[in-house]
Each structure stands twice: as structure tokens, then as C-alpha cells.
Amino acid sequence: MPECPECTRSASGMASLLTQHMKDILMATVACLTIALTGCSAETPAKNEPTPTDTTTANKVAVWVTNGSQSKLFKNENALSVVKAGSVSPSANLISIDFSTKLQEMEGFGAAMTGSSAYLINQKLNASQRQNLLKDLFDPQNGIGMSYLRVTMGASDFSLEDFTYNDLPAGQTDAALSKFSVAKDQTDLIPVLKSVVALQQGIKIMATPWSAPAWMKTNGKLAGGSLKPEWYGAYANYFVKYLDAYQKEGISIDAISVQNEPLHEAAYPSMGMDSAAQGKFIGQHLGPLFKSKAVKAKILLYDHNWDRPGYPISILNDPQASQYVAGSAFHAYGGNVSAMSEVHDRFPDKGLYFTEISGGRWATNFSDNLKWNMSNIFIGTVNNWSKNALLWNIALDENDGPKNKGCDNCRGVVTIAADGSVTKNVEYYTIAHMSKFVRPGAFRVQSGRLSASSQLEHVAFLNPDGSKVLVVLNQGGDNKKFTVSIGENQFNYTIDPNAVATLVWK
């Protein structure tokens, strides 16, 4: 990335959690009776992913709030009552939700497990601290249940050193990639990812290269330069070898983007790749190779700022390349979130993904950061058709590192201090309001927009288990009352100033 410009749980919640636990035991027992030879037990339900905590009871709405004053940080408030429409006076701010009109399917929310983040988690925390942090971040029941990760293929500006998976002495080449190795990832990144997968087997992981090996590039360096056309085929094979190597480690990569920020060449690992080059690489090399090898990983293009939607549009206009592309990825260091809708309107059959933005010391006001992230990234990108929303580094240290010649004042989702203590930054809470409640496979659903004067923004979802989620942001400095209309029923809620609330019901 470039340097940036600028439970407590209620009694009713506990009762429902106990009920859910009893259901899990019953389901597991039935499963064991029907498959007697599997050796499973009622205490260990056969599930790929932990069931998120059931925060709802009949005719009740669970409420979780974070406000700008920090007096409420992901606080579980008293449940609201669902009543018949008209039985109480509605607010002038009426949110009508149509759960029968499904829009895009959600894939997850999370951040990037960079080399720096993995190093801190693996090397600077003891086993107990590490397990506690990973549970807090990835366990849907006992934590915030992050469901999507981005990792770097090789080094980025947040790694301990420069490297790719096929580095050679100057002047040498390796067309067959016989020296390809992910050994450098086996120190920290792969062990941490294995721990994450153990907590949530269904987590989605996307991988992104910052640079091809230097010997494949016009300048012979990892920093800057571009990919030589004569190495397009070898570089496509580089992706396949990477996916195979990670699969052998038990880590399945769901998607790759072709190049991080292809319009930004920097002093750290980076590589220029204009839309014509990326289209040719996908259409004539990467896509056909993935097809011939039956590679399931999605191919995402662009992976850069909102200000150049013409880049992905030009590639999606090329049928040779477009046939292999699952979608376009965006960052938020330039332009407006509406660019994602611009691409969607042209190519509604292609997915959209939001893959990077960082907080940092250039913006330290908790309230302002809370509102900006919710408005632009978590509510904004989803309302503009994104299937996910990811922040940058999951963890950095007290000195905003370790860094590798890049951003010198970026902030992690959490900060890991030298003594192993962990500070949850504003980014943690913005992710939590989405990731814990909006599970993979959920659909965004149709909901009526409120006037700008209301200072309220929102997005609604329907989860695979039938639970319903509404996330509301109050941009204003006063309490705001609103009414949620759901068919023949409704409920009222008054949201704090400068706050985000997630409301969940069945």
C-alpha cells in the first residue's frame, strides 16, 4: 500500500446461548447415531465452522453499540421488543426492510495477515496470549468472528525483509520455477494461518503479490519495474505453485488478485501493470492455465483505488480476459466508494471486493474514524455491491511496525506491545459490528434509504440461519430515534450520537 494521505451478555442472551448449546448437543447425538462408526461424540458436533453466538430470542432484538465517546465499546445493550405495526408511534425516520429482495451474497469481513502481523502474533506473544488474541479475532462464538483474510504472496511494505518465492542471484533465471519455495512463510505466516483455520475452517483467504521475482522484471529489482512479457507464462505458473504449496499446508486460498496496486511503483516490493498488460496476462496466460489445471481460486483484477474504475472496466470489456475473472478489487486511498457501483452497473454478473484501507497516526480521533470507516468502508462498500470489506494490517507494534520501507505511521486493527499486551483500536470495533453478525453466505437485502438530513446510514442482511441484521450509523451529534418496519411488525430504537449499532433478530 502507499503511504496514506491523510460482554457483558444479558440474561436473555445467556439463556439463548444455553438453548443453542443444548440444540448443538442434540444435533450431534443424532448425527452420531446415524453414523455410528465415525467415532464422534455429542460433545464435539461435526461442523466446519463454529456456530456464531445466538444473540436473539423470539420477538426480541439484540443490540450492540459503539459510540464516539468510547463510553460504549461493542456493548451489548438491553434487547428491544418487536411489536405489531401501528401499536406504537413510529419515528419520522422509518427504515423499511424487504428481506425477500436479496442483493449480493456476502463472503466476509476482516483484514490482512501481513508478514509483520504474523511475526508479532507468532513471536511476540506467548502461547496463551496468542490463543486469546486469535480467539478474540476469529472465533464467531467467543470473539468477533472475522471471516475473511488477505495475505501477501511474498513480501510487502509490512514484512521483515524483501523476498519472493523464487529469488535468484542477478543474471540467473528459472523458467521451470524449479527453485520455487514458500519456506520464508513457514516461520510465522503459515503457523498463524493454521491456527486461524483451526478456529474457523470456513474462513476465506485471498492472496496478493506485491512483486514478481526480480529476474522476471524490466528493472531486475523487487521495487518498481514491470513484468517482462516473455515471463508471463512462468509467472502464471508461479501462482499455481503458490496455491499448491499452501494447499499442501492445509490452507485453501479462495481468491487471488493479480497485482497489488498496479498503478503504484514504490521503494518497497511493487510492480507496475497497466490494464492492457493485466488483461493480456489474465486472458492469455493465467486464466487458461487455471482452467487447464482446474484451479478453483477466483481471479480478481485491479486491486487499487476507487479513482480509476476505468481500469477494471477495460479488462471486463475484453471477452478473452473477462471469462476468467470473478471480480474487481478496490482500495480507498483515492476516489469515491460509488466507483464500485459504476463497475457493478456495467458488469452486474461480476463480483466486487473491497480489500484495503489503513488507519494511522494522521487520524487519531476515535469518533471521526469510527464514522468514516462505517460510512465509507463497512456500510458504504456493501451498499455499493461489495461482497466483503477488509482493512490492512491485523496487528502492528507500538512503533507502527515492523515495516519494510513503506507507510511509517499506519495503525493495525490491534496494537501488540512489547510486553504482549494488546490494544484494540477503532478498526477492531468497526470490523466487529459486521463480522460477528453478518456471516458468510448472508445476503444484503433491500432497504429504503433515509434522507441525508436524518444523518442516519444503514445496511441490512439476511443470514443463512434466518437471522436478520441491521447496521445503523448516526453521523449526528444528537440522539436519533428511528423505526424499523419489517412486514407487519416494527420496533423503535434511539441511537447514541456519533455511534454505530448492530441490531440482530429472528
Computed from CA positions of residues 192, 196, 197, 199, in that sequence, does the dihedral angle turn out positive or negative? positive
Computed from CA positions of residues 133, 136, 140, 146, in that sequence, does the dihedral angle turn out positive or negative? negative
Let me know: does 377 contact 354? Beta carbons within 8 Å.
yes
Q: Is 427 a catalytic residue?
A: no
Spatial separation of the C-alpha atoms in residues 86 and 504, rounded to whole Å: 21
C-alpha distances in Å from residue 330, one per residue of 296, 309, 333, 338, 443 = 22, 9, 9, 11, 20
Q: Is 356 a catalytic residue?
A: yes
Number of neighbouring beta carbons within 10 Å of residue 478: 9
Let me know: does 384 contact 337? Beta carbons within 8 Å.
yes
Spatial separation of the C-alpha atoms in residues 333 and 2, rounded to whole Å: 8
In single-letter form, the type of residue at position 98 comes to D
CA 159 from chain centre, in angstroms, equals: 20
Q: Considering 6, 43, 261, 398, which one is annotated as catalytic?
A: 261
CA angle 288, 291, 296 (to 5 degrees): 135
Let me know: does 349 contact 383? Beta carbons within 8 Å.
no
Residue 219 CB partners (closer than 8 Å, separation 6+)? 225
Spatial separation of the C-alpha atoms in residues 468 and 141, rounded to whole Å: 17
In single-letter form, the type of residue at position 95 comes to I
Alpha-helix runs per DSSP H in 147-274: 189-199, 232-248
Q: Considering 43, 77, 356, 488, which one is annotated as catalytic?
A: 356
Let me know: does 150 contact 209? Beta carbons within 8 Å.
no
Three-class DSSP category at 488: coil
Beta bridge partners, 365, equal none
Spatial separation of the C-alpha atoms in residues 328 and 326, rounded to whole Å: 7
Spatial separation of the C-alpha atoms in residues 169 and 172, rounded to whole Å: 6
Three-class DSSP category at 59: coil
Query: How far is the first Cα of the chain from the last one, in angstroms, to the nearest whole number?
Result: 40
Task: From 306, 362, 355, select the one nearest 334 (Cα to Cα).
Answer: 306
Alpha-helix runs per DSSP H in 182-231: 189-199
Catalytic residues: 261, 356
